[in-house]
Amino acid sequence: MAVDLSAALLLLLLYGHVERSITTVGVDPQQTVHLLQEQQVSHFQQYLQIRTAHPNPDYTSAISFLTSIANHTAPSTIRTIEFVPGKPLLILTYLGSDPSLPSILLNSHMDSVPADVDRWSHPPFAAFTRRAQDDKCIGVQYLEALRVLKTEGFVPVRTVNVVFTPDEKITGIDGWVEFAVSREFRELNVGFMLDEGQASPSEDFRVFYSERTRWRLILKAHGLPGHGSKLYDGSALENLMDAAMEISRFRDSQFDLVKSGISLPSDVISINPMYMEAGTPSNTGFQMNMQPSEGEMGFDVHLPPTVDPDDLRTRFAEWAPRTKNMSYMVIEDGPIRSYTGRLLITPTDSSNPWWIAFEQAITQSGGKLAKPEVLSLTTDSRFARQLDIPTLGFSPMVNTLLHQHNEFLQDYVFLQGIQVYTHVIRALSSLLDESMLTESTIM
């Protein structure tokens, strides 16, 4: 992607937060751009090296660092709020020329899952490793893009809010959930949100308009205990194993749709066994000549937004019929409808002015969008969609394998993302079409 040398030179001249003195007079513009990019990459590396992995994320250091960077983007306000002790949110607000209009929210979470050090070929908390993609990259890219826009003299029409949240990796209950019902959130008057997406292995950016909802299914079976040598019908484990076979066949039918290319992984219901508890304990483990009177299995279930939850519950009841002394329990990690009863889907067509502005910005940046998708996993986006706020999941990472062990992000991909966000933030914060406030933006 081509670099705008004049804009980059202006940025460097006005760059308040620098790690070393740079003389721009008589310097080749290309060299100036290179030095600027080194500084942007350095900020990313420093953020990555702050350990925010569970179970003990260092949110204090993360917020201190982000605030130091944000100070040079001239936000109107910087606020740190704790709805739960030890779980801070950082809110940066850039006031628009018409603050009465619904604002833009750029969301990023600070925490990450633990790293299994034995599976990494290099330290997982060195630069460009754990959290490089999920999703410390977009947090720094937001700030660097806003810095570019500031130095270009751009003033948004709509207020732009950048929010760094805790605990996204552990359900978000102490982070976004508390935030969403707060007075502070209502005062932001959010009209549209951008959140994290996923890396694309191709040259096309991926964008997500919805995501699957996670349920946890627990099956329980009861029956008469008996000696291990006895054959009889209706034992607890026999019924539990029958249910497991039914679930396995259903899983195969869903997986076949993916393997045949008919559906994407995020378009089907996934159900996978997580644990099984059964057996009569003994001093050496389990009693091997006693059939247990009860057993339990747990499954991780992810369902697309278009699935009828009542139909799925009917299927669960068929897998665990009362006539076989079985029962089931579902633990929902959030509803699949908004508070007004709508599907948690943001339209990606001409009915949604936010989408039109976003799509045009990607084109203007020199990029191309892949077909919009449903995200397989859950993010903070679901909480915004539950409030009927149009939300897209987007991380500008192309030609990049999805994050895993030995995760990394190429520096040129990171830098390209900054340029993409300058176009996206400019377009979204300049949108004036009031039709976005109609019901057409949420299905």
Handedness of CA 90, 96, 178, 175 (dihedral sign): negative
- Of 421, 364, 430, the closest CA to residue 396 belongs to 421
Structure tokens at 189: 């008057």
134 is in an annotated binding site: yes
Contact present, 160 and 106 (Cβ < 8 Å): yes
User: Is 246 known to be catalytic?
Assistant: no
Q: How far apart are CA 287 and CA 156, in angstroms?
A: 70
C-beta of residue 344 within 8 angstroms of C-beta of residue 338: yes
Query: Is 196 within any annotated ligand binding site?
Result: yes
Q: Token pair of 29, please?
A: 């513009």
Which of 351, 237, 258 has its CA nearest to residue 302? Answer: 258
Q: Which of 111, 167, 178, 359 is catalytic?
A: 111
Helix (H) or strand (E) holding 440: none
Name the catalytic one among 135, 144, 167, 168: 168
Say whether 403 counts as a known binding-site residue: yes
**In a 3-state reduction of DSSP, which class is residue 138?**
helix
Active site residue 184: no
Cα–Cα distance for residue pair 355/362, rounded to 1 Å: 11
Exposed / middle / buried, residue 15 (Cβ in 10 Å: 0-12, 13-18, 19+): middle
Active-site residue set = 111, 168
Annotated binding site for Zn(2+): 109, 134, 196, 403
Annotated binding site: 109, 134, 196, 403
